[in-house]
Amino acid sequence: MDTIQVCERCRECCRFTKKTLYYATLFTDKEKQRAMATGLSSADFVSYRGSRHVFQVRLIPSVKVAGEYVCPLLDEQTHRCRIYEHRPLDCRLWPFFFMRSRNGRGALLASFRKDFCGITDAMKKKQYESFMRENSDLPGLLGFINRYPEFIWDYESYTFPVRFLKRVETGYVWADDRAS
C-alpha cells in the first residue's frame, strides 16, 4: 500500500475546522526547535495550557478550502508534511494518542476507530492487529508521557482503549504486563 497516495486522497490529517482548532498538533520543546530549523519561528507556536515544554502550532488558513485551517508545515498542493521524517510524536502516533479516562481520573493510550484512517481501514485483520501491537509498544512511549504529561488529551468518544496507564509514586507505568 502506498501510504502517501492514501493520505493524498484522504487529506484528513493536518487539517482542522473552526470546531477542531483545539486539536492543533502539539510539539515538545525539542520538536519545536527541529521545526524551527525548517523556517518556522517561535511566533508559529503558543504555549500549550501554560506549559514551558509543550507547544501547540499556530494553524494557518487553508489556501485550498475556505474556512479550514492547516498546519504550517503541510504542503497543501501535495498534502505532504515538510518535515515528515522528523514530524513530532503527536503526528507519528496517529491514530493513537494518550487521553484521560471518561471519569477523568485515569489515563490510557487510546486509538481512533479503524475506519477513521484510510491506511488502517485498508488493513486486513492480521496486519491491523500487528500494527496495533507494534505501535502501542513504541520504544520510549512511557518515558515520553512521564516527561510530557501535557500530551494526555481530554476524554474523546469515537475511540477505544489500547493500553491503560497506572499512576504510581514515580509516575505513570503501564497497567498491563507487557515489557515496554
The residues of the shown chain that bind ligand SF4, judged by CB under 6 A, are: 6-7, 10-14, 25, 71, 73-74, 81, 83, 87-88, 91, 94, 117-119
Rg of the chain over Cα atoms, rounded to whole angstroms, equals 17
Query: What's the CA gap between 18 and 39, in Å, rounded?
Result: 25
| Shortest reach from residue 149's CB to ligand SF4, in Å | 21
Q: Give Cα separations from 141 to 83, 115, 173 (angstroms).
A: 21, 24, 10
Query: What's the CA gap between 112 and 43, in Å, rounded?
Result: 31
Q: What are phi and psi of 80, to 5 degrees?
A: -115, 150
| Shortest reach from residue 105's CB to ligand SF4, in Å | 30
**Residue (120 or 172) nearer to ligand SF4, CB:** 120
| Shortest reach from residue 132's CB to ligand SF4, in Å | 14
Q: Are 174 and 163 in contact (CB under 8 A)?
A: yes
| Shortest reach from residue 169's CB to ligand SF4, in Å | 34
| Shortest reach from residue 57's CB to ligand SF4, in Å | 7
| Shortest reach from residue 87's CB to ligand SF4, in Å | 4
**Residue (44 or 174) nearer to ligand SF4, CB:** 44
CA 103 to chain centroid:
22
**Residue (88 or 151) nearer to ligand SF4, CB:** 88
**Residue (138 or 175) nearer to ligand SF4, CB:** 138
**Residue (75 or 129) nearer to ligand SF4, CB:** 75
**Residue (71 or 165) nearer to ligand SF4, CB:** 71
Task: Give the closest residue to 117 by CA, choosing from 87, 161, 158, 68.
Answer: 158
Q: Give Cα separations from 75 to 78, 92, 114, 153 (angstroms).
A: 6, 17, 26, 26
